Structure 1
Amino acid sequence: MSTPLVGIVLVSHSAQAAQAVADLAAGLSGAGATVPVAPAGGAPDGGFGTSSDLITAAASAVDQGAGVAVLADLGSAVLTVKALLADEELPAGTRLVDAPFLEGAVAAVVTASTGADLGAVAAAAADAYAYRKV
């Protein structure tokens, strides 16, 4: 049996944005283990917004028992995740990570693919704030 990996949930106001970031992050993870990544984007009707139900389902889908790192794009997505955490509606060991959405997602997935624990995955995602482009 393989060691459980940290799961990653990407919460966006757009289903397409969440899916694209999930695909990019998974595609850039290299030769490491396949990390469970789930997008939770948009409203249930397919429009823009956030959905508690989609976030909860995504977190349950990626939970292997090693923790779940959740990255969110904008204010109300963050507030929705915080409310779910406060109400204990997400799997035990779920953490909202303060990180840039795209760069943080890539760092989280790459780090999780090495078998790192939730603390290391969250730290790698947060470190993405320091990535310089010039």
Structure 2
Amino acid sequence: MKSTIISFSIFMLMIFCIIFSINYLNSICTRLQNSSMQIEKSIQLNSWNEAYKSSQDFMAEWKKYSPKLSIFSDHDEMEDINNESYKLMNHILYKNSEESLSSTNIIQNSLEHILEMQRLNIQNLL
């Protein structure tokens, strides 16, 4: 009886940790996606100074949260987002709107893919 209670307690603790980690991952990715969308809007409005400031803010957030995200996701995706973030800052600095928008799109899609891979569904469990 004692081993059953301990096993059930460990199981419930694992379920709690999984739910907490998925919610935390969702909040981080949503925050980063919103920041990326703000950069995209600034680029579309040709507000290059605001876009550059927003991209610096995104990089600060990215450096803060990327170690935590690396626990949940593939390191290649993390490296892709990191590289695109640096490219984005350079494209904004040189006011290249097409490449800047392309980089924001890649960042948003990579963040969405991280979220998609961590959702609880049959496809991800198999």
TM beyond 0.5: no
Larger radius of gyration: 2
Task: Identify, as 1 or 2, the structure richer in strand.
Answer: 1
Larger relative helix fraction: 2
